[in-house]
């Protein structure tokens, strides 16, 4: 039986009821978010059912949240209820996390632009350490900054598991940056784990083939200039200040970088808190 929700409205009448423009409705149709209930084949006129008003308003409000079209489609398809609310909640949590990171980055940049660099860098104590030659197994990947943390955890986990076949872990795992990793530049970055048995490591790499761009090499003895940071400081952009503090110290000491900068992870990430030291930001120097 027909009811008020089944009433067919012209696009103008529907737009007025939904408090949207006809242009917006045509866009929603083109994007696959809200199709007319009927299109007259002869005239091309669009007609909507009165029951589509709430969906039209929902799409409009979700677009005001800058929600990507694919996610809007998911929310709309879920209908009213906990599933749709959960999808919206997950999206907004992502937004808040991104904004929090941008807020921190803006504060960091304000410090740099206002000439407070020395104040920021003064929080980091820089020292040098001699590291011996060591055999490392590694995994290299081109990755952007938003994918980097997940890749580091996964890659080091794979390599530490593989180290069991290579005489065990024989030093501090680290990630070397062969070029900048940002939202525009994808490195590459290289996860490395020192191991005890070179022959076993090369046999392991041979079995792996080219998977994950796995390699085995002997890392030469190096002198590292480094600063130790906490788990909280590993996050972007705090870690940028640590790298820049080491670079500033190197310049003051007349030292030159002789290899890619790196992050050396010596702490148990899962068992440590935000203020626990977990990582050295380091540059090979001479």
What does pTM read for this prediction? 0.66
Tokens encoding 161: 């598991």
Round to whole Å and give the CA distance between 71 and 63: 10
Distances (CA, A) of 74 to 35, 83, 161: 15, 10, 38
Q: Beta partners for 283?
A: 225
Nearest to 110 by CA among 123, 243, 102, 252: 102
* Confidence check: pLDDT of 141 > 70: yes
Q: Where are the beta strands (DSSP E) in the chain?
A: 8-10, 38-39, 46-49, 126-131, 134-141, 174-177, 189-195, 214-219, 222-230, 261-265, 277-284
pLDDT tens for 160-206 read: 999 999 999 999 999 999 999 988 899 999 999 999 999 999 998 88
Round to whole Å and give the CA distance between 191 and 27: 46
Greatest mean pLDDT among 22-26, 181-185, 258-262, 275-279 lies in: 258-262
Q: Beta partners for 192?
A: 138, 174
Q: Beta partners for 261?
A: 177
Whether 257 contacts 236, CB under 8 Å: no
State the pLDDT at residue 1.
44
In sequence order, what are the residues at sequence separation of 6 or more whose Cβ sits closer than 8 angstroms to the Cβ of residue 273? 231
pLDDT tens for 97-125 read: 778 767 777 777 787 787 765 566 667 89
């Amino acid at each position: 039986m027909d009811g008020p929700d089944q009433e067919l409205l012209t696009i103008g009448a529907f737009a007025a009821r939904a408090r949207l423009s006809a242009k917006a409705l045509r866009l929603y149709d083109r994007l696959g978010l809200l199709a007319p209930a009927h299109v007259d084949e002869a005239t091309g006129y669009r007609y909507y059912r009165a029951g589509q008003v709430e969906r039209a308003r929902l799409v409009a409000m979700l677009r005001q949240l800058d929600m990507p079209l694919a996610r809007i489609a998911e929310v709309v398809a879920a209908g009213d209820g906990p599933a749709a609310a959960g999808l919206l909640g997950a999206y907004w949590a992502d937004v808040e996390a991104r904004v929090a990171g941008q807020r921190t980055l803006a504060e960091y940049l304000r410090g740099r632009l206002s000439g407070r660099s020395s104040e920021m860098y003064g929080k980091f104590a820089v020292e040098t350490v001699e590291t011996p030659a060591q055999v490392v197994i590694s995994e290299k990947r081109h990755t952007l900054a938003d994918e980097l943390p997940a890749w580091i955890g996964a890659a080091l986990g794979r390599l530490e598991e593989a180290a069991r076949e290579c005489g065990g872990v024989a030093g501090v795992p680290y990630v070397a940056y062969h070029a900048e990793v940002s939202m525009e530049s994808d490195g590459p970055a290289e996860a490395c784990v020192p191991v005890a048995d070179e022959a076993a490591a090369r046999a392991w790499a041979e079995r792996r083939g080219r998977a994950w761009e796995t390699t085995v090499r002997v890392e030469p003895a190096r002198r590292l200039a480094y600063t130790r940071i906490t788990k909280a400081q590993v996050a972007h952009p705090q870690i940028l200040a640590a790298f820049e503090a080491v670079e500033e110290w190197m310049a003051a000491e007349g030292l030159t970088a002789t290899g890619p900068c790196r992050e050396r992870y010596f702490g148990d990430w899962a068992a440590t808190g935000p203020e626990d030291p977990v990582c050295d930001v380091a540059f090979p120097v001479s």
